[in-house]
Amino acid sequence: MSEVARLPGAVTVRDDPTGVAAGWIVEIARVAMAEGGRFRIALAGGSAARTLYQVLAVTPHRERTDWGRWEVYFGDERACPPDDPANNCRMAREALLDLVPVRPELIHRMEAERADLDAAAAEYSSILVSTCPTAATGSAPRLDCILLGLGENGHTASLFPGDPALQVRDRWAVRSRADYAPFDRITVTYPVLNAAAHVAFLVTGATKGEALRGVVEGRAPAAGVRPPDGELRWFMDTAAAGSL
């Protein structure tokens, strides 16, 4: 068994996996909208996610989904103004959301620029509760899809090694602390990640080997993402797969 095959969930490796990932998103969006009327998705930050959003925003994938029924959330946000280049929502808007007819009232950004991050996180928890169904197992809100990246230190969303946010089980979004700037963050918690119907990691580049080994060995924060009643997917390029 190769090391890649030891990752939890289904693994897709391509020179460029974004087309496959985009097609997968469009298909699960179709099913979610047929079953519940909307497609609730939490977006990730990072360069791999940006590339995926750019693919979704153009032909053929742009024409294959009903953007007016997408409801958009974020897995994490950095404590910076919404117009800051480091802001995840700004990146998602520039790469996707401003280019397709998503309804503005259905875009729920994290207000991580606020001085009171605990209050902002609590409000985001309330948004998740009021706009999402509850998972059949547990009490967490259930999103149709959550997109995640993987940091070189094994973090995902803004769940960093050693941070107290890793231990939270009774709140859906909390403040967290990164080990590089901007340090202060808001992140969804493991209960939300593991309540989702579909979770996908987007992993690119030859520097992710140690993080991927941390997932395989169960010691990286990303290893805590194991949805018991949902699909877990990995979309990675050949460089990332080769680094493992």
In a domain, 208, yes or no: yes
Q: What range defines the domain where residue 158 resides?
A: 10-243
Give the rounded percent of residues in the chain with a pLDDT score beyond 70. 100
> Cα 160 to chain center, whole Å?
14
Residues 211 and 178 sit within 8 Å (Cβ to Cβ) = no
Task: Judge whether residue 231 has pLDDT over 80.
Answer: yes
Query: CA torsion, points 77, 38, 143, 105, in degrees to nearest 10?
Result: 30
The DSSP string of 25-70 is: HHHHHHHHHHHHS-EEEEE--SHHHHHHHHHHTSTTGGGGS-GGGE
What confidence score (pLDDT) does residue 44 get?
Answer: 98
- Token code pair at residue 209: 């080997």
Comparing 60-64, 179-183, 195-199, 202-206, the range with the smallest average pLDDT is 179-183
Q: Binning pLDDT at 50, 70 and 90, where does residue 137 land?
A: confident
Can you tell me the mean pLDDT for 97-123? 98
In a domain, 5, yes or no: no
CATH number reported for the structural domain that contains residue 110 in this entry: 3.40.50.1360
In a domain, 3, yes or no: no
In a domain, 1, yes or no: no
In a domain, 153, yes or no: yes
Could you read off the pLDDT of 160-174 as tens digits, one per residue?
999 999 999 999 999
SS3 of residue 136 by DSSP? coil
What confidence score (pLDDT) does residue 185 get?
Answer: 98
Task: Judge whether residue 48 has pLDDT over 90.
Answer: yes
In Å, how far are 60, 70, 144, 229 from 23, measured between CA atoms?
Answer: 9, 15, 15, 22
Domains held by the chain: number: 1
